[in-house]
Amino acid sequence: MRKSKSAKKAATPKTHAAQEKKSSARKILALLEKEYSGAWCSLSHKNPLQLLISTILSAQCTDARVNMVTPKLFERYKTAKDFANSPQSELEPYIRSTGFYHSKAKNIINAAKKIVKNYRGKVPERMEDLVLLDGVGRKTANIVTFHAFNKAYGIAIDTHAYRITRRLGLSKANSPEKMEKELMLLLPQSVWGAYTNYMVAHGRKYCMARKPNCSACPLNKVCPSAFKFHQLMH
């Protein structure tokens, strides 16, 4: 069906804005790639199960803290069956310092029971299976599928990705779920997994929550929030 002249006119500014955003995203990605090309998941793990458990533990906790508790934890619990058969009271002391340890222990044991029962003790590779496990949302599932199975079904929006994506003007979404959808339309699938790693590295090095170091930041010429620290406290 042919569009009327007025419909064409009305669509132009929107198309232009979308093109501008794509072009801005390309520039930002190039700079991030240059700065953080080797960035990888900072949770120590040797297999998909360890990564899954570590990612569940990392909720409301730093990766460094999780990495402090997992060596002893994974020495005692080696398989999904080990976690599934553990009394909650026995697991809790291993993970206490990561916070929210009652609910984390409960989730880990229940997730492990499902892995044993439904997936023969192996962590499933598909997003739709992972999100059925206790304590696993899209963020955790995206991290596990990318770093353990080299598959990018989406983009993990953690606290760094959420804060910095908004500052960079790539999305104004007010929830991680909406932001992930917007970014999946904006960014090529080939960078979905790496994007979160770039955000984490950038959030630690320059774009901290409370005091971003805009003067040293390599993105300060393309970032609409550069040098507006007093307005960034949200």
Chain residues binding ligand SF4 by CB under 6 A are: 164, 167-168, 206-207, 212-214, 217, 219-220, 223, 225-226
Least distance in angstroms from the C-beta of 162 to ligand SF4: 13
Least distance in angstroms from the C-beta of 188 to ligand SF4: 21
Q: What is the 3-class SS of the chain, one letter each residue?
A: CCCCHHHHHHHHHHHHHHHHHHHHHHHHHHHHHHHHCCCCCCCCCCCHHHHHHHHHHCCCCCHHHHHHHHHHHHHHCCCHHHHHCCCHHHHHHHHHHHCCHHHHHHHHHHHHHHHHHHHCCCCCCCHHHHCCCCCCCHHHHHHHHHHHHCCCCCCCCCHHHHHHHHHCCCCCCCCHHHHHHHHHHHCCHHHHHHHHHHHHHHHHHCCCCCCCCCCCCCCCCCCCCCCCHHHCCC
Residue nearer to ligand SF4 on the CB measure, 175 or 213: 213
Least distance in angstroms from the C-beta of 27 to ligand SF4: 12
Residue nearer to ligand SF4 on the CB measure, 156 or 217: 217
Residue nearer to ligand SF4 on the CB measure, 51 or 164: 164
Residue nearer to ligand SF4 on the CB measure, 15 or 37: 37
